[in-house]
Amino acid sequence: MTHMNNHQDFLKFEAVLAHCEKRAPEGSLFSAMEYGREMQFFDGHNSLSVSGHILADMLMPSAVDW
The pLDDT tens digits of the residues spanning 1-54 come to 455 588 899 999 999 999 999 999 887 899 999 999 999 999 999 999 999 999
Answer whether residue 54 is part of any domain.
Answer: yes
Answer whether residue 1 is part of any domain.
Answer: no
pLDDT at 62: 66
Determine whether 32 is exposed, middle or buried from the number of CB atoms within 10 Å of its CB (0-12, 13-18, 19+). Answer: buried
pLDDT at 4: 58
pLDDT at 13: 96
Q: How many domains does one find in the chain?
A: 1
Answer whether residue 25 is part of any domain.
Answer: yes
pLDDT at 1: 43
pLDDT at 5: 84
Structural domain range at position 56: 20-60
